[in-house]
């Protein structure tokens, strides 16, 4: 799951790039952490879903809920070269993990 911070009102292209950063970071971390989980995700089509939450506070709550379920997470912090200030948290990535676990914390979120 790739969850973008809505209040920033990123352009579509910027939001896509931030989600892509999260996807790459999650994949590399999964490959290091548990090769079998990574291989299963890779073989299964590398499922990715882009979602949005209204605020940074919502992203932080989502991270806490994910960590409570042992779902891997990564933060994307922007370099600040285009639309937002350096260090701005733009996106939270979750997974790969069991679909039931991820759905339990993201199932009510809106698609990006």
Q: What is the pLDDT of residues 74-109, one digit of tens each?
A: 999 999 999 999 999 999 999 998 889 999 999 999
- Per-residue model confidence (pLDDT) at position 37: 87
Give the mean pLDDT of 58-77: 97
- Per-residue model confidence (pLDDT) at position 87: 96
Closest CA to 52 of 91, 103, 26: 91
Cα–Cα distance between 11 and 82 in angstroms, integer? 11
CATH topology of domain 2-111: Bit1 (3.40.1490)
Look-up of token digits 């994949």: 27
- Per-residue model confidence (pLDDT) at position 92: 98
- Per-residue model confidence (pLDDT) at position 76: 98
Q: How is residue 2 written in tokens?
A: 């790739």
Span 12-40, pLDDT tens digits? 999 999 999 999 999 999 999 999 989 99
Whether 111 and 79 have beta carbons less than 8 Å apart is answered as no
Domain residues of the chain, as ranges?
2-111
Q: Give 84's contacts (C-beta < 8 A, 6+ positions apart).
A: 8, 10, 78, 90
Q: How many C-beta neighbours within 10 Å does residue 90 have? A: 23
């Amino acid at each position: 799951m790739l969850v973008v911070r809505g209040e920033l009102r990123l352009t579509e292209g910027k939001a896509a790039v931030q989600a892509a950063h999260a996807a790459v970071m999650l994949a590399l971390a999964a490959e290091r952490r548990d090769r079998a989980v990574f291989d299963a995700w890779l073989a299964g089509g590398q499922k990715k879903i882009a979602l949005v939450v209204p605020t940074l506070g919502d992203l932080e709550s989502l991270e806490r809920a994910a960590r409570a379920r042992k779902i891997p997470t990564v933060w994307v912090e922007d370099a600040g070269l285009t639309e937002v200030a350096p260090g701005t948290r733009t996106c939270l990535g979750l997974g790969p993990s069991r679909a039931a676990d991820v759905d339990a914390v993201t199932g009510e979120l809106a698609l990006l």
